[in-house]
Structure 1
Amino acid sequence: NDRVGTSYLEKAYENVLKGSKSQTQVEIGNNNQIIQSVSKFKGQQGANLNLTIDSDYQKKVEKSLSDTFSSIRSAGAGSLSDGAYAVAMDPNTGRILAMAGQHQDVQTHKIEDDALGVINRAFVVGSAVKGATVLGALQDGVITVNSNTQADTPIYLPGTPVKKSVYPVGTFSSLDAASALEVSSNIYMMWLAMKEGHYAYSPNNYLKLNSDIFSKMRGYFNQFGLGLKTGIDLPGEIAGLEGNTHDSSGNLLVGSALDLSYGNYDNYTLIQMLQYISAIANNGYRMKPFLVNSISQT
C-alpha cells in the first residue's frame, strides 16, 4: 500500500501527492533468466501542495484564539461552551488565510485543538444571520430599499413567553432596516418573517403562516451559503443542521419560523458563516473557499 494520505487534504490530493511508479520492460528467457531489462519510465516523485495559509499569521490567530478563550474560561463564562473557533478568508478570492479552533469537553473541561471544527461542527449562530434576513425580505418584496420602517412591537402567542428583542419592550416605537441591524432587533426580523409568510396575527391568538415559510427563508439564506456545503477542498465538511418544520401532529412550528428569522433555530458551520459574511463584504459574490493555492513539482 503506497498511499500518501488517508484523510483530509492528503486524501483529497492523493492523486498528485503519491507520484508515479517507474515502469520497466523485462524480457525473460526459457530458463526464467532475465535476457534484458529496458526502462520505459523512470518514475516521478509526488508533487507538493502550496497552501493559502501563511504560517506566521496562522500562529498569531491560534494564539489570539487561545488567549481569548482562556480569558473567558478564567472568568467563569465559558464552562458550557463547546469551544472557540476562528477562520479568515480573502473575501475577493476565497483564499483561506487562517483556520483555528479549540474544542472543550463540557463534562471534563478538557481542551483539544480542533481547527477542523470550522468545517465539521455546526452552531446556532444567533444575530449574525440578520443581514441575510433583511436581504431576503428585500428580495421577497415585503420591504423595499426606500420603504422599510416597521413598528417595533413584540409578538404575543398563546402558551409562549413574549417574543421580543433583548432590549426592554418599548425602547423603540419603530425601526428601519439599517437601525434594526444596528441595535440587533429580533422583533424587526420576526415581523419580516411574518410578512413573508402572509401572516394572520392578533395578540395572544394562534399565528397562521403559509406552509412554505421555512423553505422560503432557508432559500434566501442558501443564496449566501447558509445551510449548504461551501465546497472547500477539505474533505469532511458538513452542511449544518436544520430544525424541524412541523411538530409530531403535523402542525407548522410557527414560533420556530420566527426564531429562524433572527438566527436562533438552524445550525450553521463557521465556514458557511465566513462565506456569507464575505458575500456581503464583496458586494454579493459567493466565493468558494480553498486551501490549496497551487501544486508544484519542486
Structure 2
Amino acid sequence: MPLGDSGRRLRMVMLALAIAVSLCAGRLVQLQGFDSSALAATSASQLTRTLPLLPSRGDITDRNGEVLAATEPAVAITADPVHTAPHAAEITTVLLKYLELDRTKTMAALTKPNTRFVYVAKKVPAATYTKIAAELTDLDLYGIFRESDPIRTYPAGAVGSNIVGFVGADGQGLAGLEYGRNTELAGVEGKEVYESAPNGSKIPLGSSVVTPATNGVNYQLTLDSELQWVAQRRLAAQVTESKADTGTAIVMNVKTGEVLAMANYPTFDSNKPGKADAEDRGNRAVSAAYEPGSVEKVLTMAALMDSGVAKPDTKVLVPGRVSSGGGYIKDYFSHGDLQLRLRGVVSKSSNIGTVLLARQGDKATLHDYLARFGLGAKTGIELPGEAAGHLPGPDMKDYTRDQISFGQGLSVTAIQEAAAISGIINGGVYHQPTILKSASDSTGASVPLDRAAPRRVVSAETSAKVRDVMEAVVVNDSTHKLAIDRYRTGGKTGTAERVNSSCGCYRGYTVSYVGFAPADNPEIMTYVVVDNPRAGDTGSGVAGPVYHDVMEFALSRYSVLPSTRKAPEKPIEW
C-alpha cells in the first residue's frame, strides 16, 4: 500500500494552522480594536457595585432640646439570588435566628430566578445586621448585602405629634413638619461605587469612590414639650367631659409670636399613625376654619377704638333686640334696655351692643382692620395645611357687618385668631406666629429661617384700651372662676352657632376662651376652642377651665412675675 504524500500532508496542516491563526488574530483585532470599550464597560458593570449612602434625617427638638423626632441607624437587607440560591436554606436559618421573617417567603426571595437583586428585610437595626453578617461570613455564605434604611423614632409619642407629624415606610414625611420640611430634613443622598468579586464581596484593594451624603437640617421648635403635655392632657379631659367633637389649645409668647404649645384632641402617636383616624393626624389649630363667636368682639372693638369711633367708656343704650337683615339679633340672655359702656358691652358679651357700636363705623374700615389683623389670609406659620378662613369684602351687606362684628358670618383658624389678639394686646405690634426657633446643618452651623418683620396693627394707646376692656371681663365675672391668683388677667369668652355641613344649617356650638397675663404687660396668652360640646354650651364653662389650668402652669413655668397691684374697678354701666 503506497505511503501518503508527506509534502501534501504538511501543506494541508500548515494551511489549517494558518486559517486558525487568522481566525484568532481576527477575533483579537475585534476584541482589542473594535469592541474593547464595550467589553470593558460590560466587565466593569459586572464587577462594580453601587451602594447608596442615605443621609441621616435631621432631628426635631423642642425649645429645651428634648428630642421629638430622631433617626436610628438601620439597614435594609438585600440579596443576590445568583449567589444565595444554592445555599438558601442555610442562609434562611441564619436570618431567622435574628429576624421575625416568614421562612417560605424568605426562601422564595433568595431563590428568585432571573434577577440579581431582591429585598429580604427592611428597617433592621444596624447592630442586628452586624451579627447576621458575621455569622454568614463564618459559614462562608455569600450573597447577602445591606442598604442604609434608617428608622425614624418619636420619643415623645403623642406629645406634639400634630406639629411634628410622621414619615412613611419610605422615610418621606407624610404629615406635620416631617412633611412640610421634608426636603430640608431629608438631606442629600450620597453613594459608594466599588469593585466587587464575582461572589459580590468587596475587593479589598479594588477601586472605590465615595460621594458622601449630606445629612438633613436639624430643627429646634418653639414648642415646650412639658407645657405641651399639660395642654394636651387638660384639653383631652375637657373634650371628653363635655362630650365634644374636638378641641384645640394654643399658648403663645405675646412678645415674640412663638407658639409654646399647640394641642389638638383627638390626637395620635407619631410612632403609630396608622392606629388613628385620618382626620386626627392633621392639625386643626391651623387647618380647621370656624366661626369664632364673641372672641371676635375683641377685634371689632380694637378697630372701633383705633379708628376713633369709640372709647372704653363710650355709652350705649342696649335694647332687648335689634333689627338686622329682615330678622332680629338678640343677646344670649333676655333683658330690657341696658345702659352699658363699651367696656360693659364686652364684659357682658352683648351682641346687640356690639352691633350698635359697629354701625357707628364704616364697613370698609372695619374690613381693613380685620384684614390688618390677619383675617382672611394665612398667617404663614411654618406648618402645612394652613387654611385662610373667610373674611367678607369691604362691600359687604349691612347685615353681614352686623354678624361679623360679634363673630358670625366669617371664619378663622385658631392660630389666626390667637395671633390677631396677641398682636392687639402686645402694644399693637403683630408678630407672625412661629413654631421654629432655630435650624442648623449637620456641622452645627446655623441655617437661616424666613421671618416676616413685626408690623403695627393698632396704636399703643388702643392696645392699652383693649387690655382695659378685656380685664373688665375677668373683674366683673360674678364667680371669678377664671381669675388666676396673684395675676391681673384679661380675657374674653366666645360662643358661636356652629355650621353643620350635613344640613347646611347652624346646629350646636363652638365655644372658646382667650386670656392673657399680666394684664398691664402681657407675656403669655392662651386660647382654647372646643367644638360641638353636648354637655355645656358656654365659653366660660367649657373652654375656660382648660385656659385657667394651662395658663396657671405656664405662668409658673416661665417665672412670670405676679402683679403688684390689684386690677382697677372701672364702670361697665352708666
State the TM bucket, normalised to the shorter chain. 0.7 to 0.9
Kept in 2: contact 1:126–1:262 (CA 8 A): yes
Kept in 2: contact 1:133–1:261 (CA 8 A): yes
Pairing 1:122–2:289 present: yes
Pairing 1:22–2:190 present: yes
Counterpart-to-counterpart distance in 1, 2:353 and 2:403: 12
Partner in structure 1 of residue 332 of structure 2: 166
Counterpart-to-counterpart distance in 2, 1:112 and 1:19: 29
Structure with greater helix share of residues: 2
Q: Name segments (4+ residues, structure 1) moved above 6 Å.
A: 23-26
Pick one of 234, 237, 251 that aligns with 2:383.
234
Unaligned runs of 5+ in 1: 27-34, 105-109, 198-212, 247-251
Counterpart-to-counterpart distance in 1, 2:306 and 2:215: 53
Partner in structure 2 of residue 152 of structure 1: 318
Deviation at 1:244, TM superposition (A): 8.5
Counterpart-to-counterpart distance in 1, 2:400 and 2:213: 60
* Local SS of the residue matching 2:183: helix
Structure with greater strand share of residues: 2
Pairing 1:216–2:365 present: yes
Partner in structure 2 of residue 55 of structure 1: 225
1:257-284 deviations in Å (ceiling 9; x for gaps) = 2111111221110001110221133221
Counterpart-to-counterpart distance in 1, 2:187 and 2:426: 38
1:148–1:243: structure 2 CA closer, same or farther, 3 Å change rule? Answer: same
* Local SS of the residue matching 1:85: strand
* Local SS of the residue matching 2:402: helix
Kept in 2: contact 1:232–1:289 (CA 8 A): yes
The number of aligned residues is 255
Kept in 1: contact 2:325–2:398 (CA 8 A): no
| Percent identity between the two aligned chains | 28
Counterpart-to-counterpart distance in 1, 2:303 and 2:405: 10
Letter in 1 for 2:336: G
1:270–1:94: structure 2 CA closer, same or farther, 3 Å change rule? Answer: same
Counterpart-to-counterpart distance in 2, 1:295 and 1:139: 38
Q: How does 1:1-150 map to 2 (within 5 A)?
A: 4-22=172-190, 39=210, 42-73=212-243, 78=244, 82-102=245-265, 113=280, 116-144=283-311, 148-150=314-316
Q: How does 1:245-256 map to 2 (within 5 A)?
A: 253-256=397-400
Deviation at 1:254, TM superposition (A): 2.3
Q: Give TM-score scaled by structure 2 length.
A: 0.40
Letter in 1 for 2:188: S
Deviation at 1:171, TM superposition (A): 5.0
Kept in 1: contact 2:390–2:410 (CA 8 A): yes
Counterpart-to-counterpart distance in 2, 1:18 and 1:231: 22
1:115–1:11: structure 2 CA closer, same or farther, 3 Å change rule? Answer: closer
Letter in 1 for 2:182: E
Pairing 1:180–2:324 present: no
Q: Which structure exhibits the higher relative contact order, with contacts defined as CA atoms closer than 8 Å and separated by 6 or more residues?
A: 1
* Local SS of the residue matching 1:129: helix
Letter in 2 for 1:256: T
Counterpart-to-counterpart distance in 2, 1:241 and 1:159: 23
CA RMSD of aligned residues (A): 3.3
Larger radius of gyration: 2
Counterpart-to-counterpart distance in 1, 2:262 and 2:286: 10
Kept in 2: contact 1:232–1:288 (CA 8 A): yes
1:211-270 deviations in Å (ceiling 9; x for gaps) = xx2x43222112222332111001110011346999xxxxx6422321111112211100
